[in-house]
Amino acid sequence: MNQALSLGLVMALVAASAWGQAYRWVDKDGRVHYTQTPPPADAKDVKKKKLGGNIAESSSLPYATQRAAQNFPVTLYTSPDCGAPCDNARSNLVKRGVPFREINVVDQKSGEDLKRVSGKIQLPTLVVGSQVQSGFLEDAYKGALDDAGYPSSAPQVPLEALRKMEPVAKPAAAPPESNPSPAPEAEVK
């Protein structure tokens, strides 16, 4: 009897995990119930469990793109004044539906990071996994993305859904003046 109850409980939890949620509750007689539907209003000790560790997470990106992004993440180094080469590099990634992290090289830290990754300061620079391409050459970008397994075409996805911008560093605060002029006092009436 105990074994049948355990088997029934396991089967109920497996079935509930297919739906993504399960409820544990105690009825008025003190019996514990496991269901995938909400318990009655008079149930005590209600616990809702979100199950589905074995259910694949859904995404708007194709599976091949998700796998490539997981195995070969893409980073694009740009700067606000880079102009057409950076714009072309960015649009090339968006056209293919490639999720990427964009780093604006605007301060010394981001410049040092770029130099560490690529060995030089040239923009734009594309990093696909461990492969680095400095400058924008469409065929070189195509080859790097193809090698990583990114599909050559993808459904249209907005730029904001693909790009993860690194926050721009805040400019250093100006040192306080040694002899600031006093603020005018408000006239009291």
Residues 80, 103: one domain?
yes
Does 149 fall in a domain? yes
- Provide the residue type at 75 as one letter: T
Residues 81, 156: one domain?
yes
Q: What's the pTM value of the predicted model, to 2 decimals? A: 0.56
pLDDT at 19 over 70: no
Name 53's Cβ contacts closer than 8 Å, sequence gap at least 6: 17
Determine the pLDDT at residue 134. Answer: 96
Does 84 fall in a domain? yes
pLDDT digits (tens, 9 = 90+) for 76-105: 999 999 999 999 999 999 889 899 999 999
pLDDT digits (tens, 9 = 90+) for 152-180: 887 666 666 667 766 555 555 545 554 44
As a whole number of angstroms, the distance between CA 76 and CA 25 comes to 51
Q: Give the ranges where the chain is alpha helix by DSSP (H).
A: 2-19, 63-71, 84-96, 108-118, 138-148, 159-162
Query: What does the block give as tokens for 73?
Result: 């993440």
pLDDT band at 8 (very low <50, low <70, confident <90, very high): low
Q: What is the mean pLDDT of residues 130-152?
A: 95
Containing domain of residue 46, as a range? 2-50
pLDDT digits (tens, 9 = 90+) for 25-43: 788 888 887 777 788 888 8
**Residue (of 132, 127, 154) closest to 64 by Cα position:** 154
Averaged pLDDT score across all residues of the chain: 77
**Which residues are paired to 24 by β-bridges?**
34, 47
Q: What is the mean pLDDT of residues 121-140?
A: 96
- Domain end call among 50, 72, 87: 50
**Residue (of 29, 118, 48, 44) closest to 77 by Cα position:** 118
Residues 23, 95: one domain?
no
Determine the pLDDT at residue 23. Answer: 74
pLDDT at 61 over 60: yes
